[in-house]
Amino acid sequence: MALIVQKYGGTSVGSPERVKNVARRIARWKARGHQLVVVVSAMAGETNRLLALAREVQGQPNPRELDVMVSTGEQVTIALMSMALMDLGLKARSYTGGQVKILTDGAFTRARIVSIDEERVRADLADGHVVVVAGFQGVDEAGNITTLGRGGSDTTGVALAAALRAEECQIYTDVDGVYTTDPRIVPEARRLKTITFEEMLEMASLGSKVLQIRSVEFAGKYRVKLRVLSSFEEEGEGTLITFEEDENMEQAIISGIAFNRDEAKITILGVPDRPGIAYQILGPIGDASIDVDMIVQNVGHDGMTDFSFTVHRNDYHKALELLKPVVAHIKARDVLSGDKIAKVSVVGVGMRSHAGIASTMFRALAEEGINIQMISTSEIKISVVIDEKYTELAVRVLHKVFGLDQPA
């Protein structure tokens, strides 16, 4: 008997029939004697429907009111799921983010969880209830409704698992685990039985889209065992996200190839090469709550350097706007930018103990005539920015050159 947090995404609860299917799955877990906390997203399509409605009324919807509005999506699902569970004879009770209560900061549409008051959940669990919690939402100190941003339901699940010290947080989605890369692009892509948190962080942030990155960070921070599973398959062990490299496992050098077409690049040419300049450039971007992904700055010469970074395409125009006064102030030479780019990355903890990964990667891309625009590396990943049109080709060629299409 264990306390398990399960999170079901929008596709898994996309219709009354699917809600009932999920309820039956939950009932089977309950029948095995487990305590269950279930986190649900809005029914597929609902969030977009609400966004469209908002935009019909206000071109740029007010963030506070947008959160009031879109948070209703999950609120409907928690009620439906609780009803479906009761219909199977189980005791169930729903909670909105504000009721649980999931306290966040006040950054509407992209709030961060500060704390969770798990008292009520614990009492209900002890009383035999399945507790159904709305993902994606919380309240700030003043009682305003906030949302965590797209994919935030994963974060809710992990945060609850951490607060409750759950045995495992299971993320049910429409894929059956984490793959070496997107199978829609590389049919030979394989499901990974385990992946380390570090790798998962890189995979998630680089666009593998199975889990929201913040949820993985949370899981790592609070040592929550995280498992990705398919809500459409009856059984299956999915992919377990582990804390450490398992010495007993045959560790592949590279775990996967991630890619991301959601970014735009901005390069500022002729930046004075002096302390504080990076802050001057990125300060206003950060103040506007725009996340910066890659940042590249090469060694300068003649007191000047070039400074590049990438942001989400949704923030591209806003970022350019914010940079104008900065560029004028620091008297930079010019700004180059573009949003027809893709970031492709090879990720693997094995990289630490193996040389030559970068050169293998660059040679493979060169042989296909793919020009590399930016390079950025960490201990366990190498990312390149290339022309968007080469995305699929680059992913396929890298998947093959690192042997990921071979059985592990």
Chain residues in the site for a second copy (CB under 8 A):
16, 19-20, 50, 53-54, 56-59, 61-62, 64-66, 68-69, 71-72, 75-76, 78-80, 82-84, 86-87, 93-94, 96, 98-99, 143-145
Rounded to whole angstroms, the maximal C-alpha distance in the chain is 75
Q: Give the nearer residue to a second copy in terms of CB position, either 50 or 203.
A: 50
Type of residue at 115: S
Supply the minimum distance, in Å, between the C-beta of residue 56 and a second copy.
4
Q: Using CA atoms, how far apart are residues 27 and 256, in angstroms rounded to an integer?
A: 35
Q: Using CA atoms, how far apart are residues 125 and 209, in angstroms rounded to an integer?
A: 31
* DSSP notation for 1-28: --EEEEEE-TTTTSSHHHHHHHHHHHHH
Supply the minimum distance, in Å, between the C-beta of residue 122 and a second copy.
15
Supply the minimum distance, in Å, between the C-beta of residue 149 and a second copy.
17
Q: Give the nearer residue to a second copy in terms of CB position, either 132 or 365.
A: 132
3-state DSSP call for residue 254?
A: coil
Q: Using CA atoms, how far apart are residues 259 and 252, in angstroms rounded to an integer?
A: 19
CA-closest candidate to residue 148, choices 202, 96, 99, 105: 105
The terminus-to-terminus CA distance of the chain in angstroms comes to 33
Supply the minimum distance, in Å, between the C-beta of residue 270 and a second copy.
41
Q: Give the nearer residue to a second copy in terms of CB position, either 19 or 39.
A: 19
Is residue 231 a contact partner of residue 81, using CB atoms and an 8 Å limit?
A: no
Q: Give the nearer residue to a second copy in terms of CB position, either 40 or 186.
A: 40
Q: Among all chains, which residue has been given the structure tokens 């009761």?
A: 86
Q: Find the DSSP H helices in 103-251.
A: 119-126, 152-164, 197-203, 213-222
Crossing angle, helix 152-164 and helix 119-126, to 10 degrees? 70
Supply the minimum distance, in Å, between the C-beta of residue 42 and a second copy.
10
CA-closest candidate to residue 203, choices 375, 394, 383: 383
Tokens representing 173 are: 């989605």
Supply the minimum distance, in Å, between the C-beta of residue 317 and a second copy.
21
Tokens representing 365 are: 């891309």
Question: 36: buried, middle or exposed (CB in 10 Å: 19+, 13-18, 0-12)?
Answer: buried
Q: Give the nearer residue to a second copy in terms of CB position, either 143 or 187.
A: 143
Q: Give the nearer residue to a second copy in terms of CB position, either 61 or 177.
A: 61
Supply the minimum distance, in Å, between the C-beta of residue 265 and a second copy.
33
Q: Find the DSSP H helices in 288-376.
A: 316-329, 357-367
Supply the minimum distance, in Å, between the C-beta of residue 101 and a second copy.
9
Q: Give the nearer residue to a second copy in terms of CB position, either 72 or 242.
A: 72
Q: Give the nearer residue to a second copy in terms of CB position, either 116 or 253.
A: 116
Q: Give the nearer residue to a second copy in terms of CB position, either 2 or 53.
A: 53
Supply the minimum distance, in Å, between the C-beta of residue 104 and a second copy.
15
Q: Going along 273-392, which residue ranges are E strands?
A: 292-297, 304-312, 334-338, 341-347, 374-378, 381-387
349: which residues sit within 8 A by CB, 6+ positions away? 196, 198, 199, 245, 251, 255, 380
